[in-house]
Each structure stands twice: as structure tokens, then as C-alpha cells.
């Protein structure tokens, strides 16, 4: 009997020791993954949050994954409100490129399938709904690698911007963006995580930037985050939500293509959506006398089928406000435009509502209402071919026409 008791006690001690060791290893791994080497100044205005009528109930959950055998942790996680307050983005200065060369919200694809505008280089990926919106789940591979299907072998050029949304659980590895040459050899690697952004340049150079304290680690998980990357003549800037996290003055490389990559699994997938690539790197007209007849913007975005302005639109809106301040004699018509998908009457109505929403936001930012009018044009004034994927993306726009 005494021997039996001693055996039981020894087994319990061994289990406790193993559990403690496992906990130590897990904590050490998390700290190593999230560590960032450089802390950047916090640049956002953390004013009080005002809840709007358009805010989605934070208890909404995702639709169960129909494409893979096990439901990813993200599918059962509580969702954050769709949009952060615009005031939080008061100092945001990212402006997307002037011409969209790729955009995908997966609206043309079937749930449970691999998206039609992408190529799979390694691993596995599948579309799955979260909050009734399709997202790209990278579910298998070390590393899983996917890339947009493009007509040109070299499509990025000397100035470009990249935007995407990503969702991270505590069990998952975060997404990596590889900016490569035309043979897909790595030139610039951008790794996002709950602590910050790491940027690597083969063979040995690397730089890092930290997220602000109220965004990192536990505050980062189980939420959608918007990333924006601007590359211009060798300089690279990376933004997460309202914060510019990292600036690389000279990358020493000129990439041709990009990939999304990382360590994906069914239980801990890499999740991305709303991917956009554009030529150019933002407006450079601030502080100058404005002489053009109009400004065409693709940086003012809205919730799907709504006139609710997304917060990342503030970079473009801040630029327009500055132009109006620098040129007090200018008056603008705010024009809303759509592609040719859907009902014509509904598109016309939605474009008017969106033009009105932009006008009201500019007024709220201090612009005299007498200097602005708003008009929706629906699909009636395309600037690109509505029969192509990228053409439709360019036709969805807001114009500021000089009166």
C-alpha cells in the first residue's frame, strides 16, 4: 500500500512539473514572437469614443467554417465594431496610390473554395465567412504562400501602396508580406505581429517598430486590423490602424511582385481580406497652388452597400482638407461613382448617399459648407473598363471637381 501511494505521489509531481515547464516554454515563445526592437512615438488622437448607429453589435459571431473540418478559433471569437471613430485617425497621413492594379474583397468567389484571382505557391488556403463577409484563410503550410494573379510579371514599380485587413488569434502566427523580384526571390520581408512590425532585407539586415501600448499584445488579438504599406523610390512606410509603425528610409531594393505568407494551420489560420494594390504613393499636392480641374481618389472607402466612411479614409480626407485650406478660393463638387454591378437605381442612390457622407465629414473637419456640393453619378461616368476586375475597382471612386 505504501509503495502504491508513493507511485501516485511521484506521478502527480511529474505531471505538475511537466505542466510548469510547458507553461514556461509557451510564455517564452510568446515573448520572443512579440518582441519589437524599436519603440515609435504615438501619433494618434485618443479622444473619447462615440458609438454610432452603424456600429455592429460586438457579440456578433462568424458563420461556422464550411470549408475545413475544424472551425478555426477566429470563427467563434467576438467581433470588434466595424469602424473605429474617425477622430482616432485625425493624424493619419496614408494615401493610397492613384491607380488600382489589384483589389479583391472575394465578392465574386464561392465560400469554401480557393479564390479565383489568386495563385497558390505553397501550402493551402480557402475562403471562409466571418460576420457574413468572405475572408481568405491560409490553413496549411510552413510557409504557406499565395500571390495575386497578375498579367504582368513586374507590376509594383517605383511607387506603390498595399492595403489589407488581418485577424489574429493568440494561437496563430501573423501574416507576412514578401516584396520580391519577378522570380519571387525575397527582397523585402514585412512581418506583422501583436507587438509591432519587423522588416528584413536579405541576407542579414532588419529593422523593427513597436505598436502603441493600447494596441499591442492582448489588445491586438481577436480583432480586425487594417495595414497599409507605402513604397516610394526606396523608402518604405508601414501603418497599422491609425499608427505609422515603421519607416525605412532606404530599402536598397526595388521589388516587382508580392506574396502573403506565414505559418498556417486549420486550428490557427492566417486570415486576410480587403486586399488592394495601387500604383503611385499618394498625393503630393499639399502646400501647392491647386490648378487641376479635379482630384480622383480611391482612398475614401465605405462599408459594403452603405454610406459609412471607413476610418482609414482619413488620410485622403486630411489631404483634401489641407488643399482647401491652402486654396481658400476653391469650391468642390463631391462626386460619388460606382461600377456597373447591381441595380442602376440603387447604385445611383448609394453614390449620392456616399457623396453626401463625404461632404458632411469635410464640414465636420472645419470646411465651410458653402464651398461644397455633393452629387451621386452611379455607374454613368466610368473611367475604366467595367468588363475587367481592376477596371471596376478604379470606377468605384470619389471625385472632387473644381467649381
Please give the pLDDT value at position 85. Answer: 66
pLDDT band at 8 (very low <50, low <70, confident <90, very high): very low
The C-alpha atoms of residue 126 and residue 110 are separated, in whole angstroms, by 10
Q: Do residues 198 and 310 both lie within one domain?
A: no
Q: Do residues 200 and 266 both lie within one domain?
A: yes
141-153 pLDDT, tens per residue?
A: 989 999 999 999 9
Please give the pLDDT value at position 292. Answer: 81
* pLDDT above 90 for 108: no
pLDDT band at 111 (very low <50, low <70, confident <90, very high): very high
DSSP of 70-81: S--GGGGSPPPP
Please give the pLDDT value at position 221. Answer: 96
Q: Do residues 243 and 117 both lie within one domain?
A: yes
* pLDDT above 90 for 182: yes
Query: Is the pTM value of this prediction over 0.75?
Result: yes
* pLDDT above 80 for 23: no
DSSP of 13-56: HHHHHHHHHHHHHHHHHHHHHH--S-PPPP-S--PPP---TTPP
Q: Do residues 308 and 169 both lie within one domain?
A: no
Q: Which domain holds residue 110?
A: 73-279
Residue closest to 403 by CA, chosen among 334, 336, 333, 323: 333
Long-range Cβ contact pairs of 215-223 (< 8 A, separation 24 or more): 215/240, 215/241, 215/243, 216/34, 217/34, 220/168, 220/194, 221/168, 221/169, 221/170, 221/194, 222/74, 222/77, 222/78, 222/80, 222/167, 222/168, 222/169, 222/170, 223/79, 223/80, 223/167
As for how many domains the chain has, the answer is 3
Reduce the DSSP state of residue 392 to 3 states and report it: helix
Q: Do residues 207 and 330 both lie within one domain?
A: no
Which residues are CB-contacts of 137 (< 8 A; sequence separation ≥ 6)? 65, 67, 68, 72, 125, 126, 127, 128, 264, 269, 270, 271
In a domain, 385, yes or no: yes
Cell numbers describing residue 33: 514572437
* pLDDT above 90 for 47: no
Reduce the DSSP state of residue 4 to 3 states and report it: helix
* Least confident window among 125-139, 286-300, 339-353: 286-300
* pLDDT above 50 for 2: no
Please give the pLDDT value at position 120. Answer: 98
The C-alpha atoms of residue 116 and residue 389 are separated, in whole angstroms, by 11
Q: Do residues 206 and 328 both lie within one domain?
A: no
CATH number of 322's domain: 3.30.1330.60
Strands (E), 173-299: 176-180, 186-192, 196-201, 205-210, 224-232, 235-240, 243-248, 257-264, 270-279, 294-297
Q: Do residues 77 and 161 both lie within one domain?
A: yes
* Least confident window among 55-59, 224-228, 345-349, 373-377: 55-59
Averaged pLDDT score across all residues of the chain: 82
In a domain, 56, yes or no: no
In a domain, 51, yes or no: no
Contact criterion met (CB below 8 Å) for 68 and 139:
yes
* pLDDT above 60 for 87: yes
Q: Do residues 123 and 227 both lie within one domain?
A: yes
The residues with which 248 forms a beta bridge, in sequence order, are: 236
CATH number of 180's domain: 2.60.120.200
Please give the pLDDT value at position 84. Answer: 53
The C-alpha atoms of residue 83 and residue 73 are separated, in whole angstroms, by 22
DSSP of 320-385: HHHHHHH-TT--EEEEEE--S-S-HHHHHHHHHHHHHHHHHHHHHTT--GGGEEEEEEETSS-SS-
Domain end: 279, 312, 331, which one? 279
Please give the pLDDT value at position 282. Answer: 60
Please give the pLDDT value at position 289. Answer: 60
Amino acid at each position: 500500500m505504501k509503495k502504491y501511494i508513493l507511485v501516485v505521489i511521484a506521478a502527480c509531481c511529474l505531471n505538475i512539473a511537466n505542466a510548469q515547464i510547458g507553461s514556461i516554454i509557451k510564455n517564452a515563445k510568446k515573448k520572443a514572437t512579440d518582441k519589437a526592437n524599436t519603440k515609435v512615438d504615438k501619433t494618434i488622437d485618443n479622444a473619447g469614443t462615440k458609438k454610432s448607429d452603424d456600429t455592429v453589435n460586438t457579440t456578433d459571431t462568424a458563420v461556422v467554417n464550411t470549408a475545413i473540418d475544424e472551425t478555426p478559433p477566429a470563427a467563434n471569437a467576438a467581433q470588434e465594431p466595424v469602424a473605429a471613430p474617425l477622430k482616432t485617425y485625425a493624424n493619419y497621413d496614408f494615401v493610397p496610390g492613384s491607380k488600382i492594379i489589384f483589389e479583391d474583397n472575394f465578392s465574386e468567389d464561392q465560400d469554401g473554395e480557393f479564390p479565383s484571382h489568386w495563385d497558390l505557391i505553397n501550402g493551402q488556403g480557402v475562403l471562409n465567412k466571418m460576420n457574413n463577409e468572405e475572408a481568405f484563410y491560409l490553413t496549411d503550410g510552413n510557409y504557406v504562400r499565395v500571390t495575386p494573379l497578375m498579367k504582368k510579371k513586374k507590376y509594383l514599380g517605383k511607387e506603390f501602396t498595399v492595403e489589407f485587413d488581418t485577424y489574429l488569434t493568440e494561437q496563430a502566427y501573423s501574416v507576412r508580406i514578401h516584396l520580391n523580384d519577378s522570380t519571387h526571390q525575397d527582397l523585402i520581408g514585412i512581418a506583422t505581429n501583436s507587438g509591432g512590425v519587423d522588416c528584413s532585407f536579405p541576407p542579414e539586415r532588419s529593422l523593427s517598430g513597436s505598436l502603441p501600448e493600447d494596441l499591442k499584445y492582448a489588445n491586438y488579438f481577436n480583432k480586425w486590423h487594417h495595414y497599409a504599406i507605402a513604397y516610394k523610390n526606396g523608402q518604405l512606410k508601414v501603418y497599422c490602424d491609425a499608427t505609422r509603425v515603421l519607416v525605412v528610409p532606404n530599402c536598397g531594393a526595388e521589388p516587382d511582385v508580392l506574396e502573403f505568407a506565414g505559418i498556417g494551420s486549420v486550428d490557427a489560420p492566417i486570415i486576410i481580406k480587403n486586399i488592394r494594390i495601387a500604383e503611385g504613393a499618394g498625393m503630393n499636392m499639399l502646400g501647392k497652388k491647386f490648378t487641376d480641374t479635379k482630384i480622383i481618389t480611391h482612398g475614401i472607402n465605405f462599408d459594403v452597400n452603405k454610406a459609412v466612411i471607413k476610418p482609414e479614409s482619413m488620410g485622403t480626407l486630411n489631404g483634401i482638407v489641407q488643399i482647401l485650406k491652402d486654396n481658400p478660393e476653391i469650391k468642390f463638387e463631391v462626386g460619388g461613382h460606382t461600377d456597373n454591378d447591381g441595380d442602376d437605381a440603387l447604385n445611383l442612390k448609394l453614390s449620392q448617399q456616399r457623396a453626401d457622407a463625404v461632404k458632411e465629414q469635410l464640414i465636420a473637419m472645419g470646411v465651410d459648407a458653402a464651398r461644397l456640393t455633393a452629387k451621386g453619378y452611379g455607374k454613368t461616368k466610368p473611367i475604366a473598363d467595367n468588363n475587367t476586375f481592376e477596371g471596376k475597382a478604379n470606377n468605384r471612386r470619389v471625385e472632387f471637381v473644381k467649381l
